[in-house]
Structure formats: structure tokens, C-alpha cells
Amino acid sequence: MASSSVSFVVVLILVLCGGAACYDNSGGGGMEEEELFGLFEVMGSLLEDPTWAQMHPLPCTDTPWPGVECGLMEETDVFHVTKIHVGDDVVSPPCKASAKISDSLLKLPYLRTLSLINCFTDSEVSLNKRLFQSLASLEHLTLESNPALIGEIPSTISNLSSLKTLCLSQNNLSGGIPKEIGNLVNLQQLVLSRNNLTGAIPGEIGGMEKLAILDLSLNSLDNTLPSSIGGLESLEKIDLSWNRLRGAPPPWLGNLTRLSLLDLSHNSFTGPIHESLSGMQQLQYLIMESNPLNSKFPSFASSLTRLAVLSLSSCGLHGPIPSVFSNLTNLTALSLDDNHLDGAVPAEIGSLRNLDTLNLSRNHLSGRLMFPPDFMNRIGQRLDIRENDGLCADLAVRMSNTSSRLLQNPSCDDAVIFAAPSNRTMAADHRNSGSSVNLKPDLYGGGDDSSSDHGDFGSRIVIFVQLVLLFLLLQAS
Ligand SMILES: *[C@@H]1O[C@H](CO)[C@@H](O)[C@H](O)[C@H]1NC(C)=O
Ligand SMILES: *[C@@H]1O[C@H](CO)[C@@H](O)[C@H](O)[C@H]1NC(C)=O
Ligand SMILES: *[C@@H]1O[C@H](CO)[C@@H](O)[C@H](O)[C@H]1NC(C)=O
Ligand SMILES: *[C@@H]1O[C@H](CO)[C@@H](O)[C@H](O)[C@H]1NC(C)=O
Ligand SMILES: *[C@@H]1O[C@H](CO)[C@@H](O)[C@H](O)[C@H]1NC(C)=O
Ligand SMILES: *[C@@H]1O[C@H](CO)[C@@H](O)[C@H](O)[C@H]1NC(C)=O
Ligand SMILES: *[C@@H]1O[C@H](CO)[C@@H](O)[C@H](O)[C@H]1NC(C)=O
Ligand SMILES: *[C@@H]1O[C@H](CO)[C@@H](O)[C@H](O)[C@H]1NC(C)=O
Ligand SMILES: *[C@@H]1O[C@H](CO)[C@@H](O)[C@H](O)[C@H]1NC(C)=O
């Protein structure tokens, strides 16, 4: 270890003091020695390649490296390092096992972008408080997919006053989100997803007036949402899924008129959702699945006319599905499965010309499914209405592409068959003439919900089969 760093320094001295190599005057601008030295140390602390400095003695001009970018300062005719990116796209594997972030970063005061992806995988590294104190020119900081990046986000992150993008996703960071983060008034993207962050989302986040993307998903954040988020009117995407957030989704979310994605799924939010959320007029994705809303279907959804995906699966919704879909012409996916919804399925859902995924399974819906054939053909296997108490489908509908799922629901024709014995023969003939193979699951395995209808017919067959088996057994012995 010690000897290798000694030889590294020797190499540096050779490179730096090899005369003309230090300042490439003929090449139209060189680098300041301190900065070049700093870059060598930063790269040396990350990369496996011990000859990096030798191979790239003039990284801004004659011997560039794909992950390093420089900018020429006109007044002084001197190059400065503006970007360091290390990831699988540049070098594989990106970093050495003992990689760490060198303090020499502080010798790169013109650095605007630092991006280290899949770099710290073996030996643990944490974010150094001092490091952030003097990188005032940094605009984009991305430390992503580093399982060995541990510890807390230091409060001195707020010293990065030029920061526009802060992406620390898929690391192993823990502790709370420091409230000082709110001082990053130029921040446009805050992505801290897939860490072990805990505690509440600090209200100070409301200071980031330019914030467009807020992604804190897949952490262990708890408590309610700070109302200050309602003042962040530049927000376009909010993803807070897979945390432990609670309380009602706040009414002021309706102030976010530019929001196109709101993902609050897999939290502990409770209902009802306030009608003022209809203010989110640009909303295309409303994803709320797996929250104990325990309320009625939020009918304000009817005014979110740009909606493409609406997911309210496993939200404890009860009552009927209201007829609110006629204006949602851009809806492509509707998931209402695993709730307590009852009543009929609004026929207007079948007229949504862009809908291609519809999951209504595991509810208490009833009545006759009335969707036109072209709708059924388009949606195919992406229609799921299984496990509903009394929902039946017409034979024509059941014969369509969706049939394997629909066959687990009772046929509306069956309801007639068993109610009026005089019709049975005809209907049975009809079955045999059709694709009897497809219809079999309905007769035998018709699902728990429909078994009462079919009970005596099915049990007669079972008894018959048992008798045949008994007969065969007796024959054999
Ligand atoms: C994350 O850190 C904890 C200790 O802080 C450790 O137990 C765990 O293995 C780490 N996870 C990964 C994926 O390295
Ligand atoms: C750096 O951040 C810390 C913590 O937020 C703060 O106390 C300090 O004043 C900041 N220093 C500078 C130079 O901004
Ligand atoms: C952090 O989360 C990962 C999975 O995302 C888990 O393996 C690890 O044990 C957690 N670490 C701590 C300290 O909770
Ligand atoms: C939401 O907008 C209303 C009206 O513009 C305003 O009075 C209210 O303070 C806003 N709420 C938040 C949390 O910013
Ligand atoms: C659908 O849109 C029209 C015109 O924009 C509006 O008058 C009507 O109330 C809307 N219907 C629903 C159910 O929101
Ligand atoms: C539906 O989507 C199309 C194409 O993305 C878009 O042009 C149109 O404005 C959208 N309609 C509404 C009501 O948002
Ligand atoms: C519908 O949702 C249920 C869970 O509630 C899921 O098991 C099923 O696979 C979904 N159906 C489709 C077609 O995705
Ligand atoms: C099933 O869908 C395909 C297109 O995906 C269509 O060509 C075919 O006619 C459909 N079959 C039935 C029975 O509707
Ligand atoms: C079955 O019986 C009903 C009356 O119970 C009758 O209206 C209907 O036409 C019959 N269906 C057929 C196919 O005979």
C-alpha cells in the first residue's frame, strides 16, 4: 500500500517536472499545477489503473480520458477540470475495491459535474463533511448504485450553493434528510431513492423553489408530508412510494398545477383524498396503490383529463365505481383491484379508446359486464375481473381474446341456465357446439364465488366420476 503510493508520487513528479509536459504552451493553454495534481490524486483514489497519470499527463488537451472534461477560461487561457464521471460506460469495473473520494477534490474548484456510479462496492465510504464546504461551483452531483456508500448525508451539503441536480439514489445512506438541504435554492432535481433514510421529510424542502423532480422513494421516511411542498409550484414529478408516510394526502397538492406524476403508493396514507387535488391539471400518473385510504372512489378524478394511469389498487376503497370516466379519454391503465368496490362496472369504461389495461379483480362488483367487442379485442389478456361476487360476462365477450381470465367469472348465460331449467338443454347444446375446451374451467373450477350457482350440477359430475373410478378400481382388483 505505502510503496505503491510512493511510486505514484514519483510518477507524478516525473510527469509534472518533465519540463514542457507541465505547461503545454504550444498546445494553446495548459493547466495549473495544483489542479492537475489534484486531478491525478482524485483519479488515483478511484481507479484501479496505477498508470492513469502517466497515460494522461495532459488530460485537458493531448491525452484526454472519456470521463474527464475541461473548460478553457478565456481570460487566462488556462484549462480547468469541469467534469469527472466514472461509471460502467467509461471503464469496467468502474473503480478499484479500495476506492474512496479524495480530499483533493477541493483542488478542483471549477468542477461542475461529479458523477460516480457503481463505484463504491467493497470497502465502506462515507460522505465527508469538509468535502462539500468548498465545491461551490458544483452543479450536478450524482453518487449512484454504490452499496458501500454508508452513513448520513452531511448538513454541509447545503454549501453546494450552485447545485441543480442532487442524485444519491441506490446507495446505503441512513439517517435523516438534513434540514439544511432547503438552502439549495437552485436545485431542480432531488433524487434520494433506494437508501435507508429515516425520519420526516423536512419542511425546509419548501425553500427549493425551482424543484421539478422530487424522488424519495424506497426509503423508510415517516410522518406526514410537510405543507411547504405545496408551495413548490415548479414540481413536475413527485415519487414518495415505498416509505412509511401517513396522514391524508394534503389538500395543497392541488396547488401543483404542473405536476404530471404523483406516486404515493405503498405508504400509510389515509383517505379521503381531498377534492382540491383536482387542481393538478397536468397530472398523467396518479399512483396510490397499497395505502389504507378506506374511502369511496375519489370522484374528482373525473376532472384530471390528462390522466393516463390511475392506480388505486389495495386502497380499501368501498362503494360503487362512479361514472366519472367519460372525460378521461387518455386513460391507458386503470387498476382498482383488491378493494371493496361494489355495484356495476360503468359501461363508459368500455368507450375509453386508449384504455389497454383494466384490473377490477378482487372486489364485490356485480351485474353484467358490458364492453363492446372492439374494446375486448384491444384489451385482450390485460382485462382482469376475477374474484368478484356477482360479475358475469356475456358468452360473446367470454369467447374473445380475454377468455382465459373471464372464464373464471360466471357467464351471464349460466345465470339463466340454472334459474330456468327449461332452457338448460339448449344452452348445453350451445356449449358443446362452441369451444367446449375453453368453457370447461367454468363448469369445473368456476371459482369459489360462482360455485353456489353451479353446485348441484358440478357435484353430480364429481359423484359420477367417483363412481367410474370406483368401478375401475373394482375391475382392477
Ligand atoms: C448497508 O449498511 C448496513 C450497515 O450500515 C449493512 O449491514 C448492509 O449490509 C449494507 N447493505 C449493503 C447492500 O451493502
Ligand atoms: C456550510 O454549511 C454549514 C451547515 O449548513 C453552515 O453552518 C456553514 O455556514 C456553511 N458554510 C458556508 C461557507 O456556506
Ligand atoms: C438498508 O437497506 C437494505 C435494503 O435496501 C438492507 O439490506 C440493509 O440492511 C439496510 N441497512 C440498514 C442499516 O438498515
Ligand atoms: C395553495 O394555493 C392557495 C391559493 O393560491 C394559497 O392560498 C395557499 O397558501 C397555497 N398552499 C400552499 C401550501 O402553498
Ligand atoms: C367533462 O368535460 C366537460 C367539458 O369540459 C364538462 O362540462 C363535464 O362536466 C365533464 N364531465 C365530468 C364527469 O367531469
Ligand atoms: C391526450 O394525449 C395526447 C397525446 O399525448 C395529447 O395531445 C392530448 O392533449 C391529451 N388530451 C388531454 C385531454 O390531455
Ligand atoms: C390484477 O391484480 C391482482 C392483484 O390484486 C393481480 O394478482 C393480477 O395479476 C392483476 N391482473 C393483471 C392482468 O395484471
Ligand atoms: C384476438 O386479437 C387479435 C389481435 O390481437 C385479433 O386479430 C383477433 O381477431 C382477436 N380474436 C378474437 C377472437 O377476437
Ligand atoms: C329461456 O327462458 C326465458 C324465460 O325463462 C326465455 O325468455 C328465453 O327466450 C329462453 N331462452 C332460450 C334460448 O330459449
Is the shortest distance between the CB of 435 and ligand 8 below 6 Å? no
Tell which phi-psi region holds residue 290, choosing left (phi > 0), alpha (psi between -120 and 50) or beta.
Answer: left
Spacing, Cα 333 to ligand 4 middle (Å) = 31
Number of C-beta neighbours around residue 92 at 10 A:
8
Instruction: Give the rounded distance of the alpha carbon of 395 from its chain centre.
Output: 39
User: DSSP states of 89-133 as a string?
Assistant: TTSSS-S-TT----GGGGG-TT--EEEEES---SS-EE--TGGGG
Given a contact cutoff of 8 angstroms between Cβ atoms, the answer to whether 265 and 293 are in contact is no
Spacing, Cα 189 to ligand 7 middle (Å) = 33
Cα angle vertex 321, ends 317, 325, to 5°?
Answer: 125
Share of the chain above pLDDT 70, in %: 78
Is the shortest distance between the CB of 254 and ligand 4 below 6 Å? no
Looking at per-residue pLDDT, the higher value among 83 and 391 belongs to 83
Residues 6+ apart with CB under 8 A from 71: 79, 80, 82, 110
Spacing, Cα 197 to ligand 2 middle (Å) = 22
Local confidence band at 429 (pLDDT 50, 70, 90 cut-offs): very low
The CA distance from 1 to 243, in Å, is: 42
The β-bridge relationship of strands 171-175 and 146-151 is parallel
User: DSSP states of 128-151 as a string?
Assistant: -TGGGGG-TT--EEEEESEEEEEE
Residue written as cell 491525452?
A: 63
Q: Please, what is the average pLDDT of the chain?
A: 83
Local confidence band at 404 (pLDDT 50, 70, 90 cut-offs): low
Local confidence band at 106 (pLDDT 50, 70, 90 cut-offs): very high
Q: Is the pLDDT of residue 332 over 70?
A: yes
Atom of ligand 9 nearest to the CA of 419: 5
Counting Cα atoms < 13 Å in the Cβ hemisphere of 192 gives 21
Question: What tens digit of pLDDT does each residue of 141-181 get?
Answer: 999 999 999 999 999 999 999 999 999 999 999 999 999 99
Counting Cα atoms < 13 Å in the Cβ hemisphere of 177 gives 25
Given a contact cutoff of 8 angstroms between Cβ atoms, the answer to whether 404 and 379 are in contact is no
The CA distance from 72 to 416, in Å, is: 83
Pocket residue to mutate for ligand 4, from 225, 229, 252, 258, most atoms within 8 A of Cβ? 252
Question: What tens digit of pLDDT does each residue of 1-59 get?
Answer: 444 443 433 333 333 433 333 444 333 348 899 999 999 999 999 999 989 999 999 99
Atom of ligand 7 nearest to the CA of 382: 13
Spacing, Cα 331 to ligand 8 middle (Å) = 22
Is the shortest distance between the CB of 279 and ligand 4 below 6 Å? no
Spacing, Cα 321 to ligand 6 middle (Å) = 24
pLDDT of 442 reads 32
Atom of ligand 3 nearest to the CA of 150: 13
Spacing, Cα 420 to ligand 9 middle (Å) = 8
As given in the structure block, the three cell numbers for residue 286 are 396518479
| Axis-axis angle for helices 447-476, 436-445 (nearest 10) | 100
Spacing, Cα 330 to ligand 6 middle (Å) = 6
Pocket residue to mutate for ligand 6, from 260, 306, 310, 352, most atoms within 8 A of Cβ? 306
Is the shortest distance between the CB of 206 and ligand 4 below 6 Å? no
pLDDT of 457 reads 47
Spacing, Cα 217 to ligand 3 middle (Å) = 14
Nearest CA to ligand 2 atom 11: 159
The candidate with the shortest Cα–Cα distance to 82, out of 50, 115, 55, is 115
The pTM of the full predicted model, rounded to 2 decimals, is 0.80
What is the radius of gyration, based on Cα positions, of the chain?
32
Residues 6+ apart with CB under 8 A from 1: none
pLDDT of 18 reads 37
Instruction: Give the rounded distance of the alpha carbon of 393 from its chain centre.
Output: 34
Is the shortest distance between the CB of 428 and ligand 9 below 6 Å? no
Looking at per-residue pLDDT, the higher value among 403 and 172 belongs to 172
Print burial letters for 413-429: b (CB count within 10 Å at least 16), e (below 16): bbeebbeeeeeeeebee
Atom of ligand 4 nearest to the CA of 228: 13
Pocket residue to mutate for ligand 5, from 327, 330, 351, most atoms within 8 A of Cβ? 327
Residues 6+ apart with CB under 8 A from 42: 84, 101, 102, 104, 105, 108
Is the shortest distance between the CB of 251 and ligand 4 below 6 Å? no
Atom of ligand 8 nearest to the CA of 399: 13
Spacing, Cα 417 to ligand 2 middle (Å) = 78
Residue 254 DSSP code:
G
The torsion angles phi and psi of 27, rounded to 5 degrees, stand at: -80, 0
- Is the omega angle on the peptide bond into residue 93 within 30 degrees of 0, that is, cis? yes
Q: Is the pLDDT of residue 266 over 90?
A: yes
Given a contact cutoff of 8 angstroms between Cβ atoms, the answer to whether 127 and 105 are in contact is no
Residues 6+ apart with CB under 8 A from 87: 67, 94, 115, 116, 117, 118, 119
Print burial letters for 430-465: b (CB count within 10 Å at least 16), e (below 16): ebeeeeeeebeebeeebbebbeebbeeeeeeeeeee
Spacing, Cα 279 to ligand 4 middle (Å) = 11
Is the shortest distance between the CB of 278 and ligand 5 below 6 Å? no
Is the shortest distance between the CB of 322 and ligand 5 below 6 Å? no
pLDDT of 218 reads 98
